[in-house]
Chain A
Amino acid sequence: MKTTKIAVVDDRDDARKMVADVIEDAIINLDIKNNWSVIETTPFLNLGDYSKWINNEQIGVLILDERLGEVPGTSGKSVNYKGSDLVNILRTQFKGMPIYGVTSYPDDPSMQQHFALFDEVMKREDFSSKASLYVERFLRTYKNFLESNEKELTELSMISKRIAIGKATTKQKKRAEAIQKNLEIPVTTIALNSRKEWLDAYQEVIDSFKMAQKEAKRYLNQKNKK
C-alpha cells in the first residue's frame, strides 16, 4: 500500500538526514508505519519541479530548511532561493497543505517576513528533541486539512449535480465558486448556470448552422435554374 509521506527539503546532507531520522523514529514509536513514511531531498534547481514531486510522491506534510542555497547539490550547483521563497510559491498551489520550517535560524529576517505562510517554524534542536510530539501535530494538521478538503469536495459534488439539472440556487452557485477557488480547482461553474443552459446554447448554434445550410441550398438552386 502506498503511504502518505512527510518530506524533508534541506541542502545540507547531515541536517536533512538527521531530521528524516527523527521523523522515522517518531513514525515507529507512534505505530503509523503502515500509513506514513518519510522522504528527503536536496532542493530542486527548478522551482516548477516541486508541484509534480508533491503529487507523484503523495506528500502530505512538507518540512523545509530556510537557507537552502548554501551548499551545492548533486548537480554541483546551489539553488538561488530560500525556504521562505519556496513556501511563498507553493502556497499558490497547495493552499492548505501543512508546511513547516525547521531551521537553525528561526529569527532570520526573510523567515520572519514569511512566517505566516508556514504552519509553524521550529528551531532544529527543539524539533529533534521532541520529534514525536511534532509528528503528532503534523498528523493532526494533515487530518484537518484532509477533512476540510473532503467536506468541501462532497459539497461541491452535490452542488454540481444540482447545477447540471438546472436546480441550483444562486447561493449554491456562489458557494460552488468559493469552494473551487479555495481548493485551487479551475472554476467551471461560472460561465453557464446549468447543463440545460449549456445544451440550449449548443442547440442554438446548431440551428443557426442549419439555417445557413438551407439558405445556401436555396441560393444554389436558383442559380442553377438561371
Chain B
Amino acid sequence: MFKENKKNKSFTIDARTVINLGRDSIKNPTTALLELVKNSYDADATVVEVEINKDNIRVADNGIGMTGPQLEENWLRIGFSDKKLIKLTKKSRRKTGEKGIGRLSADRLGEKLSLITKTSEITPLKLSVNWEQFNVDGKDLSDIQVSILNTQNIKIPKSDRNTGTEILISNLRQTWLKVDIEQVYSELTALISPFSAVKDFEIRFHNHLVEELNGVVKSSYYEASEISLQAIFDEKTQKIKYKIIEKINSKNLYYKNEISWDKLSQRVNTDIGFNNTLKCGPVSIDILFFGRTKNNPLLLEKGLSFSGLRNFLDKNLGIKIYRDQISVKPYGYNNEPAGDWLGLAQRKERDPAGLLRPSYKVSSHQIVGAVAIGRDTNPQLIDGASREGLIESDAFYDLRALTLACVTLIEKHRHEKALIEKKQNEKNNKAGLIEEVDNYRQNLETFQKDLESLSNKLGSGIGKENKESIGQIADVIKRTEETKKRFEELLDNNRVLSGLATVGIAAAVFGHETQTAVSLFRSGVSAAQSSLSLKTGPNVKRALDQLSTSLGYAKQVSSWGAFAMARVRKDKRTRQKVNVKSAVEVVINEVEEAFKVIKIEIIKDLKEVDAKVFVMDLESIVLNLLTNAYTACSQISNNRKVRIELYEKNIGLKKGFEIVVADSGVGVDKTITDIIWEPLFTTKKDKNGKEEGTGLGLTIVKSTVDELGGDREVTKDQKLKGAKFRIWLPSN
C-alpha cells in the first residue's frame, strides 16, 4: 500500500518522452530536415550542406560549433534553449526556435544519430545517439547513456574559423523517393525568404535521385516575374506605402503610392474578418506576379525555360509568412491543406472575372510572395500549440486581410493596365456588337467572292470538293445574317428589360414620393370637405387652397403613371435621329417634382445635340444617373444640388456627345470607382448601415454604354463636391 511520504517529490521522465517529442510530433521528414537546417542558421553558418543519400542523411554547417559543456548542458538538456535568453546571434540573426526540442526531429529521419562538432578552441567532439534505446518500457530518461568522445574525423564546409557541426543520420526510417527529394528542395528554396536581406546563408544540396537539383539551392525564376509589389504597413499611421514594379524588356516601370488602411480595406472581401485598426503590428509584404505565358520576354532575357518556370511555380506558388527571415509553415505551402491561408483559389473560383472586369482576381498559381514579421516586432502574432502555424487571433486575421488587400493592389494595377491597353487597341475604331457581326459577314462575303472569281477562272478544274466549300461559305454567310438578326432581337429584349429595370429602380426611389402624393391628394380633398362643412359656415378660401394643393399632388401621381408607360414605348427601341437635349429634358421634367419636394435644386446646362440613338437607352442612362444623384443628395442634410450637362464632344475622328450628372452628395471614394459599376454593388445604406440600393442602376448604365461603344467615368465634382458621372456616346 502506498505510504504518504512528507518529503517533496519531483517528476520523473520516461525515456519514451524523447520519442513523443521528436519522432511523433514532427509531421513529416521534410519538416524534420528543415529543423536541422534552421539550427545551422541559428549557429551563424554561412554554408550548410544537406545530403540525402541512399543509406544516410548528412547535414553539415560551418557555424560556431559546440564545446563539450555546451553539448552536455545545452544539447543534451531537452527543453533548454539559449535562444530564449539570447535572441540574436553574433551575425544579428534572430534565432528561429525557442522550445529546445528541434534537435529531437533527427529521430524522425533515422534510428541513429552521429553529431560531430568543432569550435575554434578544441578538437572535434563526437556524440552518438541510438534513438531506439529510448523506445523501451519502464526506463527513466536519465538511464539512457549517450557517449561524447574526441574525434578527428569531421567534414564541414570551409570557413575562416574552421568550425562547424556535422550530423549524420543512418538507419533511415523511410525510403526517399524522387517526389520527396523534390519536396525537400522546394521547401529549402523557400526556407529563407527570397526577398529578405539575408545574403550570407547558402544551402548546398546533394541527393542520389534527382541529379539536376544538386548544387546551391537557389532559383533564378524569381527574377522572371512580370510584376512585383513591395508594401510596408506602418502600424502607427495605419498606412501602407507600396511600390509596384513592372518589368518589361529590362525596363522597370515604378508606381509608388501610399494608401490608408480604411480605404484599402474597402477592396477586401467582407467574409474575411478584420479590424478597422489593424492589430498585427508592422509588416512588410513582397508579392511577385507571374503571367505563366510562354511569350514572357524575361524568360528569354534570363535564359530560362517556360517549363522550368512552370515547374518552379508549381513548387513555390503561394504567399509565405517569414518570421525573422525563416518561413512559418503551413502558410503559402501549396502541398499543405492550410497552405492557401488567403483563400486565393477559392475567391478566384467564386468570381472568375477576366482582366477587363473590375472584380478581376489573380489565380493562386500566379503568385509567389512573402510576408515578413518578427517575434519582437509582432508580439501579437503568437505560435500555435503544434510546431506549425500561428494562433488564429484577431492579429492573425488582420495580417491575412492586409496581405489580401495587397494582392488586390496588383489586381487593380493589372486591370487598369488592361483597360488602357484595350482602349489603345480600339483607338478610334470603336464598334458595337452588331457592327462586329457585320464586319465579320462582310469579310466572309469578300472571301466568297474571291473564291467564286477563282473558281470561274479555273472553270471545271476546280473540283467537286472545292465547289462544295464555296457553297458552305455561302451557308455560313446566311447563318451569320441570321445570327445578326438574333443578336438584334436579343439586344432589343435586353433594351426592354433594362428599361423596365430602370423604371423599377426609379419606382423604388421615387415611389415613396408617389405614395406621399396619393396620401396628400386624398387628405387634401377630405380637408376641403371639412372646411366647407364648418358649423360656423363654410371657409371657402381655405377649401379652395386645399383643393389646389390636392390638384398638384393628383398631377404628380398621374405624371408618374405616364412616366412608367412612356419608358418602354416601341418607337424608343429603334435607332433614330433625335434631339438629345429634348430627350434628356423629358426625363428631367418627369422627375423634377420629386427633386423639388425634398429641396434638391437641378442645375441644367444642356446644349443642342442631334444624334442617332436608341431613345430608350438614352433615357435609361439619364434616369439611372438622376436616381443615383437623388439618393446621394437625400443622404445629406443641406445644400442639395444636382447639375446635368449635355454637349457635343468628339473623340478622335469619332463624333459624339457627353452627358454629365454631378451631385452634392457624399461622393464615390477613389478606391471603389471601378467596382460601383458591378452588379449588386451598392453604396446606398440607411442610418444603421443596412444596404438599401439594388446595385443594378449603374450596371445598366455600364452595359448600355459599353454596348453602344461609349465611354464612362466617375470622378469627384470640383464644384458640387459630390460624385460626377461622365458618359460619352457616339452620335451615329
A132 CB to closest chain B CB (Å) equals 8
- In the complex, chain A residues whose CB is within 8 Å of the CB of B634: 70
Whether the pair B527, A18 counts as a contact (CB closer than 8 A) is: yes
User: What residues of chain B lie closer than 8 Å to A123, measured between beta carbons?
Assistant: 519
Residue of B nearest to A45 (CB): B637
A18 to B535, CA, bound (A): 19
A127 to B529 alpha-carbon distance, docked (Å): 13
Do B526 and A77 touch across chains, with their CB atoms under 8 A apart? no
Q: Tell yes or no: B516 within 8 A of A by CB.
A: yes
User: Which one, A18, A25, A29, A72, contacts B523 given CB within 8 A?
Assistant: A18
B530:A71 contact, CB within 8 angstroms: no
B527 & A22 in contact (Cβ 8 Å cutoff): yes
Interface residue A49 (Cβ < 8 Å from any Cβ of B): no
The residue on A at minimum CB distance from B686 is A110
Are the C-beta atoms of A71 and B598 separated by less than 8 Å? Answer: yes
- Complex CA–CA separation, A131 to B525 (angstroms): 13
Q: What are 6 A-B interface contacts by the 8 Å CB criterion?
A: A25-B530, A104-B520, A125-B526, A127-B523, A128-B526, A129-B526
A124 within 8 A of B: yes
Q: Which residue of B lies closest to A104 (CB)?
A: B519
Report Cα–Cα, A80/B687, bound state, in Å: 9
When C-beta atoms are compared, the residue in chain A nearest to B523 turns out to be A128
- Asked whether any CB of chain A lies closer than 8 Å to the CB of B638, the reply is yes
6 extra interchain contacts, Cβ-Cβ under 8 A, other than A25-B534, A131-B530? Answer: A12-B516, A18-B546, A71-B599, A76-B639, A104-B520, A129-B523
A65-82 contacts to B, CB under 8 A, are: 69-72, 75-80
Residues on B close to A: CB < 8 A?
515-516, 518-520, 522-524, 526-527, 529-531, 534-536, 539, 542, 546, 549, 553, 597-599, 634, 637-640, 687
Which of B526, B534, B597 is A29 in contact with, Cβ under 8 Å? B534
Bound state CA distance, A152 and B450, in angstroms? 107
B597 contacts A71, CB within 8 Å? yes
The answer to whether A18 and B520 have CB atoms under 8 Å apart is yes
A21 within 8 A of B: yes
Find chain B residues with CB under 8 A from A21 CB: 527, 530-531, 542, 546
CB-based contact B638/A78 at 8 Å: yes
Q: In the assembled complex, which residues on chain A have CB atoms less than 8 Å from the CB atom of B516?
A: 12, 15, 104
Partner pick for A78 among B524, B536, B637, B687, CB 8 A cutoff: B637
CB contacts (< 8 Å) of A70 on chain B: these are: 597-598, 634
Closest chain A residue, CB of each to CB of B530 = A25
Structural contact, A72 and B637, CB atoms closer than 8 A: yes
Residue picked from A80, A104, A127, most chain B C-beta under 10 Å: A104
Q: Is A215 an interface residue (CB 8 A)?
A: no
Residue contact B530 to A22, C-beta cutoff 8 Å: yes
Are A15 and B520 in contact, with the CB atoms below 8 A?
Answer: yes
Question: Does A105 touch B at the CB level, under 8 Å?
Answer: yes
Contacts of A79 in B (CB 8 A): 637
Mark contacts of A109-143 with chain B using CB atoms, 8 A cut-off: 1 yes-contact digit, 0 otherwise. 00000000000000111011101100000000000
Q: Is the CB of B523 within 8 A of A28?
A: no
Known: A25-B530, A72-B638, A123-B519. Contact between A18 and B536, CB under 8 A? no
Contact status B515-A18, CB under 8 Å: no
Q: Is the CB of B640 within 8 A of A124?
A: no
Which parts of A52-76 form the interface with B (CB within 8 Å)?
A: 69-72, 75-76
Most buried by B among A12, A21, A26, A70: A21
User: B599 and A128: CB pair below 8 A?
Assistant: no
Binding site for B on A (CB under 8 A): 12, 14-15, 18-19, 21-22, 25-26, 28-29, 31, 69-72, 75-80, 104-105, 123-125, 127-129, 131-132
Which B residues are in CB contact (< 8 Å) with A69? 637
**How distant is the Cα of A14 from the Cα of B523 in the complex, in angstroms?**
10
Q: Chain B residues near A22 (CB, 8 Å)?
A: 523, 526-527, 530
The distance in angstroms between the C-alpha atoms of A46 and B393, with both chains bound, is 43
With a cutoff of 8 Å between Cβ atoms, the chain A residues found around residue B536 in the complex are: 28
Specify the chain B residue showing the minimal Cβ separation from A127.
B523
Q: Which residues of B contact A129 (CB under 8 A)?
A: 522-523, 526, 529
CA distance A123 to B516 in the complex (A): 11
Complex CA distance for A125 and B529, rounded to whole angstroms: 13
Q: How far is the CB of A18 from chain B (nearest CB, A)?
A: 5
Q: A21-B546, A25-B534, A128-B527 are known contacts. Are A76 and B519 too (CB-CB below 8 A)?
A: no
Indicate if the CB atoms of A28 and B639 lie closer than 8 Å: no
Q: A29–B534 Cα gap in the complex (Å)? A: 6
CA distance A31 to B536 in the complex (A): 10
Given A72-B599, A72-B640, A76-B638, decide whether A29 and B535 contact each other with a Cβ distance below 8 A: yes
CA–CA, A142 and B529, complex, Å: 27
Q: How far is the CA of A21 from the CA of B525 in the complex (A)?
A: 12
Which residue of A is nearest B522, CB measured? Answer: A125
Q: Closest chain B residue to A81 by CB distance?
A: B687
Q: What's the minimum C-beta distance from B104 to chain A, rounded to whole angstroms?
A: 63
Which residues on the B side are within 8 Å of A25 (C-beta)? 527, 530-531, 534, 539
Q: How many Å lie between the Cα of A99 and that of B526 in the bound state? A: 23
A128: chain B residues within 8 A (beta carbon): 522-524, 526-527, 530
Q: Bound state CA distance, A26 and B522, in angstroms?
A: 18
Q: What residues of A have a CB within 8 angstroms of the CB of B518 in the complex?
A: 104
- Shortest Cβ distance from B553 into A: residue: A14
| Whole-angstrom distance between the Cβ of B641 and the nearest chain A Cβ | 12
In the complex, how many angstroms separate the beta carbon of B632 from the nearest chain A beta carbon? Answer: 14
Query: Do residues B535 and A31 form an inter-chain contact, with CB atoms below 8 A?
Result: yes
Residues of B within 8 A of A125 (CB): 519, 522-523, 526
Closest B residue by C-beta to A130? B526
Q: Which 5 A-B pairs have the closest CB atoms?
A: A104-B519, A128-B526, A128-B523, A125-B522, A129-B526
- The smallest C-beta distance from A114 to any residue of chain B, in angstroms, reads 14
The CA-CA distance from A108 to B673 in the complex, in Å, is 33
Among candidates B526, B527, B637, residue contacting A80 with C-beta atoms closer than 8 Å:
B637
B515-A105 in contact (CB<8A):
yes
Contacts of B529 in A (CB 8 A): 129
Q: Which of A25, A26, A31, A78 is the most central at the interface, judged by chain B CB atoms within 10 Å of its CB?
A: A25
| Contacting pair A18 B687 (CB below 8 A) | no
CB distance from B117 to the nearest CB of A (A): 74
**C-alpha spacing A15/B539, complex, angstroms:** 19
Chain A residues whose CB sits within 8 angstroms of the CB of B638 once the complex forms:
72, 75-78
How far apart are the CA atoms of A70 and B598 in the complex, in Å? Answer: 6
* A105–B638 alpha-carbon span in the complex (Å): 24
Interface core residue of B515, B522, B553, B597 (most chain A CB under 10 Å): B522
Contacts of B539 in A (CB 8 A): 25
A209 CB to nearest B CB, Å = 56
Chain A's nearest CB lies how many Å from the CB of B121?
A: 78
Give chain A residues whose Cβ lies under 8 Å from the Cβ of B520.
Answer: 14-15, 18, 104, 124
Inter-chain contacts of A105 with B (CB < 8 A)? 515
Residue of B524, B599, B640 touching A18 (CB-CB under 8 A)? B524
Looking across the interface, which residue of chain A has its beta carbon closest to that of B687?
A: A80
Inter-chain CA distance A128–B519, complex, in Å, is 10
* Separation of A209 and B397 alpha carbons in the complex (Å): 66
A156 to B531 CA separation, bound complex (whole angstroms): 45
Tell me the nearest residue of chain A to B529, going by C-beta: A129
**Chain B residues within an 8 Å CB radius of A29:** 534-535
Query: What chain B residues lie within 8 Å of A80 (beta carbons)?
Result: 637, 687
A165 to chain B, nearest CB (A): 54
Report the separation of the CA atoms of residues A42 and B515 in the bound assembly, to the nearest whole angstrom. Answer: 21
